A = this chain, B = another copy of it.
Amino acid sequence: MNGTPQEALLPYRDSTAPVATRVRDLLARMTLREKAGQLNQRMYGWDAYRRTPDGAFELTEALHAETERFAGLGALYGLFRADAWSGVDHATGADAAHGAALADLVQRHVVSAGRLGIPALFVEEVPHGHMALDGTVLPVNLTVGATWDPELYERAAAHAAAELRARGGHVALVSALDIARDPRWGRTEECFAEDPYLAARLTEALVRGMQGETQGAAGDMRDGLFADDKAPVVLKHFAGQGATVGGRNSAESELGLRELHEIHLPAARAGVRAGAAAVMAAYNEVDGMPCSGNRALLHGLLRERWGFQGIVMADGLAVDRLARITGDKVSAGALALTAGVDLSLWDEGFTHLQEAVERGLVGEDALDAAVARVLSLKFRLGLFDRPYSADRPYSADRPNSADRPVPAPAADRGRALSTALARGAVTLLHDDGEVLPVRPTVSRIAVLGPHAATTAHQLGDYTAPPRPGTGTSVLDGLRRLAPPDVAIRHARGCALTGDDLSGIPEAVAAASAADLAVLVLGGSSARTPDTDFAANGAARTAVSEMTSGEGVDLAGLRLGPAQYALLDAVTATGTPTVVVLVQGRPHAVPEAADRAAALLTAWYPGPWGGDAIAEVLLGHAEPGGRLPVSVPRSVGQLPVHYNHKDTEYRSYVDESAEPLYSFGHGLTYTAFAYGPPRLAEDTAEDTVEVDITNTGQRRGRTVAQLYIRRLRTAVWPRTLELRGFRSVELAPGERRTVTFPLGDGRLTQVGADLEAAVLPGTLEIRVAESSRAALTAVPLVLRTDGQSFTAPAETPL
């Protein structure tokens, strides 16, 4: 591949030609071996390069061998990954200043490795910001879910995509589709919510934010070109991974198809409709077959019924796992390709696709279709026209340079967005009304607990090592933001894990000498170099203080024992205590609700979470968060969701069946009154409106949640289903009418054919501040005929 004039005239090189034309032309020129290469993503990116003693990057033999094997390279995973698993850090990896140069170096080699000059996709982990050195760390998905703020998240996602592209990365792997149905699962933090509607809205925001408006995204996405600061997303994971048995990572799901369609598929469908470039097939099985080998799921549902034209990527090593039933990895690869997988991740199975085709295990037409999808994405990204990180014409002879014609977005903006998400997610679960926001009379605050003075555990899984000094702990935040005459004293008290109680006396002394204790407890997904990892990067054992994260499933949902002892000891001092939980899943800490004056959860708030928490404690900001998941009392009552089926839910003999706090819950520093919902009369489309009044003494924000409760219906209904939400900020005494449009599929139900439609029936509309409040809210009864609805002549209440 020399970039000669003749080649520049080939149709696939014509940047003005439609993507489909270019794909067709290129595909026709490719050998079986070259095609198979396009579907492989076998290497760990950090094995592709090393840093020389003088700090420059050089390519490894491993990369050379890989590109030689396939006369090219389909995709490269995690070129910028830096964490305990990859072992990459600031000494060995590529930071923001050098990432584009590294990407160009690799790409130049890939382009030159094949006669057709096909560039590689650089696929990166972007679960909450680009997980690379200097990447802006955003709060994890569960925290995003707690904001109920898709607009803010869309902006944050756009920022992350811009960082990724400026660095030379192309494709963003983002968890979005897993629904949090079992908090034992260590990846609960990667879920937006237990609720399909909230998750769907945030998934749309993610796709819009990262991908932007691509040409033709709503139609034939093969022609949708991505802007230079936008990144195609791989939505993870398709499908049903939030419901594996026992909350065990990548275990089977016993999920029924209806449960799948009602709860686990809506976010995926919304993401596909929003134009997502790719989805990742999940590890778990759906109806007897792991997703990566499940043609009914990947082909029948995703491609045929939903019309998805993007890429299906397998999860790491998921194709090779299929050898368990096919007998060997060659046939495993053939099964996955037949089922609908286009791009493999780390598997051996897909490296044998040429053999699989030659042996007749899979047809070349299936191979061609997958290759076409991968090539389409490369064309849509402009990789053939501008293969390097810069906005420059296609050429393989440009020098290795560190200049970045696509400028990285401002880091300050990243920090502001990350902090805004953290701020919006801080959720006030319990409040005796006496201590928050911190009163002007408070002059001595004891900031206690294993989470109080560190940012390491605020970050969530996957995170790259931060530069020293990045982020703010709760102690930092309070020190910065509290009035200067407030004395702040800190004691750690205990570690996150274990039962070492030796630090508790110091914490008790600090609490006793204070007017207010802020006790920051919780869990952690921070990996350390001594964590043992599986081949797919999931933690095998938690030798660190990890209580969450991929592979860190928990049977008991409890924090470390010393934290309960610390809670007991601090609250026993009689000093009013505010407990803040920093956590990646709802841990079971019912004791905190009993003993603390106020209880908040900040989930994992990201690097600057300390600022956000301090702002809320001090009243500089409102506690804006609402629960995206129900908080159980104990593991014994799982599952707990607000949207269970409307059956008798009698209590256990030894415990309530109700969660401690339900989905949508979150107190404010003021109070709101909701009027009854009514049909708006003068709007063009069907709309419900509700009058909301701030009846308290402070300005505040309420998240009005619209739930439906189906009465007459063809399928057994859930107790409630979220179908709309609106945030309103009101001054004391202010009243506003909030409107909720009901069109656009909001009343759909999954029918007997498992297709979503607005079925005829009767339902109630309830608008309230939480799912529990909705149970007793005044309903508006509507009758739908499948198209529109009317209030019944006689309301049956």
Whether A645 lies near B184 (C-beta < 8 A) is no
Q: Pick from A148-156, A287-295, A349-357 the stretch touching chain B.
A: A287-295
Q: Pick from A78-86, A88-96, A252-260 the stretch touching chain B.
A: A252-260
List chain B residues, Cβ under 8 A from A637: 246, 555
In the complex, which residue of chain B has the Cβ closest to the Cβ of A326? B712
Given contacts A289-B716, A290-B716, A650-B551, contact A657 B246 (CB under 8 A): yes
Asked if A552 is an interface residue, CB under 8 A from chain B, the answer is: yes
Asked if A305 is an interface residue, CB under 8 A from chain B, the answer is: no
List chain B residues, Cβ under 8 A from A682: none
Whether B285 lies near A716 (C-beta < 8 A) is yes
In the complex, A245 Cα to B263 Cα: how many Å? 15
Whether B259 lies near A254 (C-beta < 8 A) is yes
Whether A327 lies near B711 (C-beta < 8 A) is yes
Asked if A27 is an interface residue, CB under 8 A from chain B, the answer is: no
In the complex, which residue of chain B has the Cβ closest to the Cβ of A652? B555
Asked if A556 is an interface residue, CB under 8 A from chain B, the answer is: yes
Whether B258 lies near A288 (C-beta < 8 A) is yes
Asked if A547 is an interface residue, CB under 8 A from chain B, the answer is: yes
Tally of A interface residues using CB under 8 Å: 72
Residue of A283, A287, A546, A653 with highest tally of chain B CB at under 10 A: A653
In the complex, which residue of chain B has the Cβ closest to the Cβ of A633? B555
Q: How far is the CB of A134 from chain B (nearest CB, A)?
A: 31
Asked if A636 is an interface residue, CB under 8 A from chain B, the answer is: yes
Asked if A324 is an interface residue, CB under 8 A from chain B, the answer is: yes
Give A74-117 interface residues, CB cut-off 8 Å to B. none
Q: How far is the CB of A249 from chain B (nearest CB, A)?
A: 7
List chain B residues, Cβ under 8 A from A551: 650
Whether B258 lies near A716 (C-beta < 8 A) is no
Q: How far is the CB of A263 from chain B (nearest CB, A)?
A: 9
Residue of A251, A552, A715, A716 with highest tally of chain B CB at under 10 A: A716
Contact flags A732-760 to B (C-beta < 8 A → 1, else 0): 00000000000000000010100000000
Asked if A250 is an interface residue, CB under 8 A from chain B, the answer is: yes
Contact flags A519-561 to B (C-beta < 8 A → 1, else 0): 0000000000000000000001110001100011111111000
Asked if A634 is an interface residue, CB under 8 A from chain B, the answer is: yes
List chain B residues, Cβ under 8 A from A259: 254, 256
Q: How far is the CB of A157 from chain B (nearest CB, A)?
A: 31
Whether B716 lies near A636 (C-beta < 8 A) is no
In the complex, A339 Cα to B767 Cα: how many Å? 35
Asked if A438 is an interface residue, CB under 8 A from chain B, the answer is: no
Main secondary structure of the interface of A (DSSP, over half): loop
Given contacts A556-B654, A652-B555, A716-B285, contact A254 B251 (CB under 8 A): no
In the complex, A614 Cα to B148 Cα: how many Å? 63
In the complex, A325 Cα to B711 Cα: how many Å? 6
In the complex, which residue of chain B has the Cβ closest to the Cβ of A635? B636
In the complex, A454 Cα to B88 Cα: how many Å? 66
In the complex, which residue of chain B has the Cβ closest to the Cβ of A250? B648
In the complex, which residue of chain B has the Cβ closest to the Cβ of A186? B653
List chain B residues, Cβ under 8 A from A2: none
In the complex, which residue of chain B has the Cβ closest to the Cβ of A718? B252
Q: How far is the CB of A653 from chain B (nearest CB, A)?
A: 5
Asked if A696 is an interface residue, CB under 8 A from chain B, the answer is: no
Give A649-690 interface residues, CB cut-off 8 Å to B. 649-650, 652-655, 657
Asked if A441 is an interface residue, CB under 8 A from chain B, the answer is: no
**Which one of B252, B634, B638, B711 contacts A645 once the chains associate, using CB atoms below 8 Å?**
B252
Asked if A639 is an interface residue, CB under 8 A from chain B, the answer is: yes
Whether A716 lies near B652 (C-beta < 8 A) is no
Asked if A222 is an interface residue, CB under 8 A from chain B, the answer is: no
**Which one of B243, B554, B648, B796 contacts A652 once the chains associate, using CB atoms below 8 Å?**
B554
Asked if A713 is an interface residue, CB under 8 A from chain B, the answer is: yes
Asked if A16 is an interface residue, CB under 8 A from chain B, the answer is: no
Given contacts A246-B639, A289-B715, contact A653 B255 (CB under 8 A): no
In the complex, A248 Cα to B647 Cα: how many Å? 10
Q: How far is the CB of A410 from chain B (nearest CB, A)?
A: 39
**Which one of B288, B326, B646 contacts A324 once the chains associate, using CB atoms below 8 Å?**
B646
**Which one of B288, B644, B710 contacts A252 once the chains associate, using CB atoms below 8 Å?**
B644
Give A747-797 interface residues, CB cut-off 8 Å to B. 750, 752, 762, 796
Asked if A409 is an interface residue, CB under 8 A from chain B, the answer is: no
- Can you show 12 pairs from A to B with CB atoms below 8 A apart? A184-B636, A246-B637, A246-B640, A258-B287, A325-B717, A553-B653, A554-B653, A555-B634, A555-B652, A556-B634, A556-B654, A556-B655
Interface residues of A, Cβ cutoff 8 Å to B: 184, 186, 243, 245-246, 248-259, 283-285, 287-290, 324-327, 540-542, 546-547, 551-558, 634-640, 644-650, 652-655, 657, 710-717, 750, 752, 762, 796
